[in-house]
């Protein structure tokens, strides 16, 4: 949508704008560096190559789509928009199906031993909720979660470098004091893995139904909410 007034303003501004610098050289340089590192990984540590390639593709996707986990959880509250939240839910549905296959082949019809199942299955308890709230407050203030911060540094938003320093400090503090939390809080909680109660196929179907339900709910919320706080 663009009205006559806006078109006029744009035209007036277009004349004043100086020619933009050509950034293709930088792009080629970075791409060359990426290729050199890729070759290094192929010859030294082969398992890093897939991570390196997938990482680049995810980075491009994040940047081009403006996919932002922070906005996904902030915008529904702030502006009543759930378009990014819906994208996150869609992503979860896809990864649920993908991981169902991965875990199905890993379990191989045997008794489920949680420690052997691929995927991040960790003990859940009050520490999960407390951590989520702290992280949530942090990411909204900082204007980005970890992937969003890295992506915005890449596109040149310098403010996020400060955030990155904070992330690194926080991660180091967390890693160095993990033993304390593990002994005092996490030790007493258990992993909850739905397939060990109802079996993998049913657990997958239940999870997809729950996610589709959330998607419909988010869609309804998006249409209903127009007004900001």
The residue ranges that bind another protein (CB under 8 A) are 1-3, 5-7, 9-10, 13-14, 17-18, 20-21, 23, 66, 68, 71, 74-75, 78-79, 81, 83, 142-144, 152, 155-157, 159-160, 226, 228
Q: What are the tokens at 151?
A: 């992506």
Strands 123-124 and 190-191, sheet pairing: antiparallel
Closest distance to another protein from the beta carbon of 23 (Å) = 8
CB 150 within 8 Å of CB 55: no
- Non-local (6+) Cβ contacts of 6 within 8 A are none
CB closer to another protein out of 83 and 116: 83
CB closer to another protein out of 71 and 200: 71
CB closer to another protein out of 160 and 204: 160
CB 123 within 8 Å of CB 191: yes
Closest distance to another protein from the beta carbon of 217 (Å) = 18
Closest distance to another protein from the beta carbon of 58 (Å) = 17
**Separation of alpha carbons 36 and 38, rounded Å:** 5
Q: What are the tokens at 66?
A: 């403006």
- Non-local (6+) Cβ contacts of 127 within 8 A are 181, 185, 186, 189
CB closer to another protein out of 23 and 176: 23
Closest distance to another protein from the beta carbon of 152 (Å) = 8
**Separation of alpha carbons 71 and 13, rounded Å:** 30
CB closer to another protein out of 5 and 110: 5
Closest distance to another protein from the beta carbon of 210 (Å) = 27
């Amino acid at each position: 949508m663009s009205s006559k007034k806006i078109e006029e303003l744009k035209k007036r501004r277009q004349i004043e704008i100086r020619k933009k610098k050509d950034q293709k050289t930088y792009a080629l340089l970075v791409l060359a560096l990426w290729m050199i590192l890729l070759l290094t990984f192929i010859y030294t540590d082969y398992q890093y190559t897939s991570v390196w390639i997938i990482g680049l593709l995810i980075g491009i996707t994040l940047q081009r789509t403006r996919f932002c986990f922070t906005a996904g959880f902030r915008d529904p509250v702030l502006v009543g928009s759930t378009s990014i939240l819906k994208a996150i839910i869609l992503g979860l549905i896809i990864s649920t199906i993908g991981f169902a296959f991965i875990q199905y082949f890993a379990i191989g019809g045997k008794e489920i031993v949680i420690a052997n199942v691929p995927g991040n299955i960790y003990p859940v308890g009050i520490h999960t909720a407390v951590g989520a709230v702290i992280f949530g407050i942090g990411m909204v203030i900082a204007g980005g979660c970890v992937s969003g911060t890295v992506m915005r540094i890449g596109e040149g938003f310098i403010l996020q470098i400060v955030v990155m320093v904070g992330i690194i400090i926080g991660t180091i503090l967390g890693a160095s004091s993990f033993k304390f939390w593990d002994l005092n809080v996490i030790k007493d909680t258990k992993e909850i893995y739905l397939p060990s109660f109802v079996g993998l196929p049913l657990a997958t179907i239940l999870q997809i139904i729950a996610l589709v339900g959330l998607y419909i709910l988010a869609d309804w919320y998006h249409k209903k909410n127009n007004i900001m706080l």
